[in-house]
Amino acid sequence: MLLNFEEIEEKVIPKMRGGEGEMITRMFVNEDTKIMYGRLTPGSSIGLHVHETDSEMFYILSGTGKVLCDGVYEPLAPGCCHYCPKGHEHSLINDGGEDLVILAMIPTHGA
C-alpha cells in the first residue's frame, strides 16, 4: 500500500497527550496501526503516556529534541530511531530551534 502524506489532510493537534504547544501531523489510521508524518514546533511536546495496547517507533527526519522513556532522557537528532514497547511510557520534546520532524509507526497488539 502506498501512502502519500502530501495527499493526507494535515491536522494541528494542540497540547498532544497533555504536552505543550502543537503537533502538526498527517496520519493514516486503520484497525491495526497508525502511521504518522508529524512535526513538533519549537518548544512543543507530546505529553508522557503509556502504550497499553500498542507500541511506537519513530524515526527523526529533521530537527533535534529528546525523549523521556521510562524515566530516562535520550537525545534525538536526524537518523535516530526511538522505540517504546507495549507497557512502557514516553514523552517527545522539541527543545531545539526548528521543527522536529518524525515518521512514526504505532501498531496495535491487543489487550
Domain assignment present for 4: no
Q: Compute mean pLDDT per 10 residues along the chain, 111 residues long, and list them.
A: 96 97 97 96 97 96 98 98 97 97 93 52
What does the pLDDT read at residue 11? 97
User: What's the CATH number where 54 sits?
Assistant: 2.60.120.10
70 DSSP 8-state letter: T
Range of the structural domain that residue 77 is part of: 9-107
Distance, CA of 80 to CA of 99 (rounded, Å): 15
pTM given for the model: 0.93
Contact 94, 42 (CB under 8 A): yes
- Total domains in the fold of the chain: 1
